[in-house]
Structures are given as structure tokens and as C-alpha cells.
Amino acid sequence: MTSLTRRTLLKTGAGAALAATLPMPALLAAEPIKIGVVQPFSGGLELFGGQAKIGLDLAAAEINAAGGILGRNVELIYEDDKTDPKTAVERTTSLIRRDKVIAVSGPITSNNRDAMMPTLSRAKVPLLYATNYEGGGCDRYLFSFNTVPNQELEKLLPIMKDQAGSSFYLFGADYVWPQKMFETATTIIGGIGGTVAGKEFTPFGVKDFAPVIRRIQDSGAKVLVFALPGADGITFIRQAEELGLLKTVKVAFLGFGELYLGAFGAGKAQDMWVALPFTQAIQTDAAKEFVAKVRKQSGADTPVSQYVFTHYVSLIAAKAAFEKSGAIDSEALVNGLEGIVVDSPTGKVTVGKDHHVTLEMFTAKTEGDGMVVVDDLGQIAPKSGCA
Amino acid sequence: MERLAIVLLDSSNAVLVLMLVSLGLAIIFGLMNVINMAHGEFLMLGCYALLALTEAGLPFFLALALAPFIVAGIGLVAEELLIRRTYARLLDTILATWGLSLFLRQGMVLLYGPGSHAVAVPDVGSVDLFGTPYPVYRLIVMAISIVTIIATFYVFFRTRFGLAARAVIANRTMASCLGIDTRRLDRITFAFGSGLAGLAGAAMAPLISIDPNAGLGWMVPAFLSILVGGLGTISGPLAGAAGVGAVDSLTAAFTSPVWAQLVVFTAAILVIRLFPNGLVSRAKREA
């Protein structure tokens, strides 16, 4: 216990006097709506974290320029989860406790999301998750703004069958997303009269894929459904090209996007297919305008992938949800989001009662140095696995 | 039969690449007692050196020949500034080189960004082997590995430098007493080992994703090769690399990459249990 001296008395007194002269109610009214963002800005997936940030920054800038939400500005508080679940939980806890955020946006990986969810659920703070994932994340405080397996696969696989043949080989990384993707894929392939010639997984960090590539060649498969993200996926495709596999199979590269462009070398890895909710190659006016807005803010060379788009949409939906509820707190956000429909650069996005979104989907393929859109698949509803 | 021949060829390729990767690590570890956690990053630097040189307009094979010298130069600087201060403190070398690896990786993120880059496979075509078109570049990588291994043996067993180097491995203090300049030897050895990592990286660059984490995947198999093969010789780690590479590649060929990892680790644990000094252990004289 320190005794009260004249000096401290003077200080506190002066402080109190100064504070009293400030217009307190005005300060309170201008207090921003804090939304925490837990994304990887280091540790391996920084490209994805960077794309998420671009989308969120753009949405926040637009919202604030238009007068904020119910008169209050949005403030994004960024935290780096280092692509690591333990760090993700620590950052989430500090955002909730110290920063008193109303909602959290992020992360990228399922590992990190699963690690963060109990903390968020307990604190009753909603998570706005905008990465395509395996489905089955059912929680009052979890909202998914990207696709689940059926949305990517149910139209893509029949197209692949028509294009290349009815024999499919499934190859991906050995973790939950590829496993669940392939479960859904197997069901769909069975339903369209195709066959699964083989299904296998690989650990991360493998540098020589020759054994797998030979096995796929020997299987006689016509379509490779491929779910090995990141650098390992690039290594596989480069070796598949070198060993001649890409001449005999057509690749459906799940999760492909702008972030991979340029990683294969000029003129390589052509005609790989993907179904996705957004690509910078969409030629509609609204999509082109969105890409232009992003590049105006983040630089002319910025790749604008689906992750920019989905994170942007998640914040726009949050604004609409607050306005629908007429209040700004976590419960108002959750209640407001359920069933809400918002306009996006590709068409309407509907948040279902199961907290997953119905949105416009597109098929695209690699061509030249970039991607081209093949078809607009229309609105596809999620089979989230939640009642 | 032809299928088996191709599998064996693929497997030899994997073995020779792993030998090339392990060689530099073995020399630095065996000769200098430095557990070099940054070996993978020197490999990654080899990839980027090749990338930079080809982007500067150099023909691929000239760039491939120069890249190891660039990495060796970086190794020399690292030795002078950092590594030499940690000699004789084995555990500290782990910490210091781990720090170095973080520094190099983050440095590449700052220079080239976190994304992947590509160097085109040189246009050398493919030849028909056992009825299957086999990329010539893979054969070239195998040849590079064999030539490098032979050259390394030549340096260590047929030159004055090699004699001095082996004297230092056998007994550092005594070698120093006999007038061998161990300081100079350390410097050259570290640069040589780094250069070998750089060569491995540059040779593999057209076949993998070039990114700041490119070296990580090699570290575990390379260290495993050394543990399995035994320290203190050059042939030990090479035998280890042959074992690890062949078991990994053949298991992956006949089952799956997931099983391959399991089998490799189980086999390695068994070997280390049964031959604690490694498959090829140097005959030790009683002190």
C-alpha cells in the first residue's frame, strides 16, 4: 500500500479534472465495434492469411466510409496464429478477454478452428470462418462463409467424367479435409456411374512422388481428384508433369486458386479443373469491379482469390446482421446472421439455419499463365452435416 | 518385370538424391561436431541461387554449376560469424544453427515472398527405358550425385586436405598439436558441406516447389541416414541414406507413402537399437 502523497494527489486530481472536461458521451458513441482476426501471418500459410486480411480490410474500409454499422465504426484487431493451433487458442483468448471483441474472424486450417471453437463457444463469441472445409462444424457460435465438400464436388465430378472418363483416382494429404472430401467424392462418383480406381493419402513433407505417380499411371484412371494443398501439391504436380502423368489424366485440383499461379513455371500444369465460389477470372461486371476495388487498395498485382472474396462477404454479412437485429453484441450478431441474405459481387449469399452458406459456384481451369472460368454453376446449397 | 525395373530406377533416384543431401550434413557433423540444423536451409538457398541465376539469364547448367559456390560462400560467412564460436559445445551448435535456419528462412520470405517459385526443367527430353519414357533430367541428377560422391571420396582419401581432415576427425587435439591448421580446415569444411547442400538443392529445384520451407522435408531423412549409418565416416551416412531412401521409396511403391514413413521409422529404431554405433562404425582405438 503506498501512502497518498501530495504529488500523487496532484496528478490524479489533474487527471480527473482533465477527463471531466472531455465530452464523455461522444467518446462512448464513437467507440468502435471490435472484431478480432486470428489468421496465419507466418508459419507456412501466410499467403492465405494475407488474402483474408485483404478481403477484411476492404470490407471494413467500405463499411466505415459509409458511416459504419448503426453509427459505429468497425475496428479489426489482427493476431498472428503462426499456423499453429496452440497459438491460435492463446490469441483467441486474449482477443476475448483483453480486447473484448464481439466476434472473431479466421482461421485457415481445420486444426486451428477445432482448437479455437471450445473457447469461443464458452465465451459465447461467434466465429466467422471463411475457408472451404470438410463440413460438420455445428455450433451456435460458428458460421461458415465458404464451401463444404458437396458444393465443390457435386457438379465438378460429373463434368470431369464427361471430359475425361469414368475412372477416378483420389489422392490427397493425410488429414481431415482430404479424407472427408474423398468420402463425399466416393458417394458422388458412385451416383454418376463412375468407379474409384484408387484412393490414397500421403504425409506432408514428401519430396519424391514417383511411386505414387507410377501407381496412378498403372491404375488406368482418367481423372485425378487431388487434395494436397500448398508446396507439396506444387511439388507433386511438377513431378507428375515431368513423368508424363498429366498427359493421361485430367486433374481436379481441390482448393486450387490464384495463390498457386506462377508456381508451376510458364506453360506448365495446364487444364487443371476446380469448382470455387470466386476467382479473379470471373468476367461479370460486378466481379471485375470487386477485383478492381481490391487492387486499388492493395496494389495492382494483388492476386484476388476466393479467400479475399469470402472474408469480404463474411464482414458484409455481419454488418447486415447487426442492422437486422438493431443491436451490437455477440448474440445480436448470431441471431441476425441466421437466415440472412446479402448481395455479393457474384450474386446472393444466403446464410442457412445450419450456419453454412448457399452461394454462386463456378468451374474454372488453368490456361496459359492464369485461370479461365468455364461455367457459372448457379447457386449451390451446402450439405453441412448439421441438422 | 519392366514395372519392377522402373520401380527400382525410381528408387535408385530417391536413394542417390538422399545421399547427395546427407553427404554435406555428414561431413559437417562428422568432422566438425556441429549438428547443423540449418542444412535444409542451405539446400533451400541452393534452390533460390539457381532461381536467381536462371532469372538473370544464365543457361540452366551453368547456373547449376555456380549455385553451389554461392551457397558455399554464404556457408563461409556463417562459419566466420556464428559457427566458429560454438565449436566444442555440441548442444549450443543445435541452438545456433536452428537460429541460423530461422534467419535464412525469414530472409527468403523478405526477399522473395512466402509463395512458391518455379525453375523450368531443362529441355533434355526423355529416353525409353524398359518400355517407359524416363525423363533424362532424373538421370542427370543421378549422375550428379554419383560424380559428387566419388569426388568427395577422392578429396578425403587422395588429397593432402583429406588426410588432414581425417586426422582431425580421428583426434582433433593431436592433429592440432602436429601443426594442422584446424581453423582453416574448419572453415573450408563448413563451406564444402554447405556447398554440397547447395548443389543438392539446385539439382532438385526443377522438380520441387521452391519456397522458404523447401529444405524442411529433407532434414528428417538426412539426420536419420546419419544416425542409422553411423558417425565419423563418410561411407556410414551414405550407407544410411541408401537404407533409408530404399526402404522409404520401395515401401511407398508397393504400399503407400503413409506406410513408408512408418516402416522407415520402425526400421531406423531397430537399427539404432541393434547397432548403436551405426551400420558402419569406425574402429575405435581404446584410449
**Is B24 within the bounds of a domain?**
yes
Range A91-107 average pLDDT: 96
**Is B172 within the bounds of a domain?**
yes
Q: Contact A208/B13, CB-based, under 8 Å?
A: yes
**Is B229 within the bounds of a domain?**
no
- Exposure b/e, A30-59, CB count within 10 A at least 16 = b: eeebebbbbbbbbebbbbbbbbbbbbbbbb
**Is B225 within the bounds of a domain?**
no
**What kind and span of H or E run contains B163?**
helix B160-170
**Mean per-residue pLDDT over chain A, rounded:** 91
The pLDDT of residue B83 is: 87
Work out the pLDDT band at B90, boundaries 50, 70, 90.
Answer: confident
**Mean per-residue pLDDT over chain B, rounded:** 89
Instruction: Compute the distance between CA of residue B179 and CA of residue B168 in angstroms, rounded to an integer.
Output: 11
Work out the pLDDT band at A147, boundaries 50, 70, 90.
Answer: very high
How far is the alpha carbon of A318 from chain B, nearest alpha carbon, in Å? Answer: 31
**Is B278 within the bounds of a domain?**
no
- For residue range A298-332, list pLDDT tens digits in order: 999 899 999 999 999 999 999 999 999 999 999 99
What is the number of domains present in chain B? 1
- The set of cell numbers assigned to B99 is 537460429
**What kind and span of H or E run contains A81?**
none
B282 pLDDT exceeds 80?
Answer: no
Work out the pLDDT band at A12, boundaries 50, 70, 90.
Answer: low
Range A85-110 average pLDDT: 95
Name the residue range of residue B135's domain. 16-215
How far is the alpha carbon of A320 from chain B, nearest alpha carbon, in Å? Answer: 35
**Is B184 within the bounds of a domain?**
yes
Query: Considering only residues 161 to 200 of chain A, which have any Cβ-Cβ distance to chain B shorter than 8 Å?
Result: 174, 200
Q: Where are the alpha helices (DSSP H) in B33-159?
A: 39-55, 60-81, 90-112, 136-158
Residue bearing the bigger pLDDT, A24 or A324: A324
A27 pLDDT exceeds 70?
Answer: no
Q: Contact B207/A239, CB-based, under 8 Å?
A: yes
A2 pLDDT exceeds 50?
Answer: no
The pLDDT of residue A29 is: 56
**Angle in degrees, 0-180, between the axes of helices B257-274 and A210-219, rounded to the nearest 10:** 140
**Is B226 within the bounds of a domain?**
no
User: What's the per-residue H, E or C state across A314-357?
Assistant: HHHHHHHHHHHHCCCCHHHHHHHHCCCEEEECCEEEEECCCCCE
Range B33-54 average pLDDT: 93
Residue A129's SS3 state is strand
Domain at A150-276+362-380, CATH class: alpha beta
Q: What is the DSSP letter of B159?
A: S
Q: CA of B204: which chain A residue's CA is closest?
A: A207
Range B126-153 average pLDDT: 91
B285 pLDDT exceeds 50?
Answer: no
Q: CATH classification of A32-147+287-355 is 3.40.50.2300, yes or no? A: yes
**Is B204 within the bounds of a domain?**
yes
- Looking at the complex, does the CB of residue B6 fall below 8 Å from at least one CB of chain A? yes
How far is the alpha carbon of A197 from chain B, nearest alpha carbon, in Å? Answer: 15
The answer, yes or no, to whether the previous bond of A277 is cis (omega within 30 of 0) is no
- Decide if A130 contacts A307 (C-beta within 8 A): yes
- For residue range A199-239, list pLDDT tens digits in order: 999 998 888 999 999 999 999 999 999 999 888 999 999 99
The pLDDT of residue B283 is: 55
The pLDDT of residue A1 is: 42
Q: CA of A258: which chain B residue's CA is closest?
A: B115
Q: Which residues of A touch B135 (CB under 8 A)?
A: 242-243
Q: In chain A, where are the structural domains located?
A: 32-147+287-355, 150-276+362-380
ipTM: 0.89
Q: CA of A261: which chain B residue's CA is closest?
A: B116
B208 pLDDT exceeds 70?
Answer: yes
Among candidates B13, B213, B260 on the partner chain, residue whose Cβ is nearest the Cβ of A44: B213
Distance, C-alpha B22 to centroid of its chain? 3
Judge whether A32-147+287-355 and A150-276+362-380 match in fold.
yes
Among candidates A47, A206, A264 on the partner chain, residue whose Cβ is nearest the Cβ of B118: A264
Q: Which residues of B touch A200 (CB under 8 A)?
A: 256-258
- Looking at the complex, does the CB of residue B246 fall below 8 Å from at least one CB of chain A? no
- Least confident residue range of A156-170, A266-280, B173-187: B173-187
Q: Where are the alpha helices (DSSP H) in chain A?
A: 6-21, 24-29, 46-65, 85-97, 110-123, 149-153, 156-163, 176-191, 210-219, 230-242, 245-248, 285-298, 306-325, 330-337
Contacts of A140 (CB under 8 A, 6+ apart): A121, A334, A355
For chain A, the helix, strand and coil percentages under 3-state DSSP, each to the nearest 5:
45, 20, 35
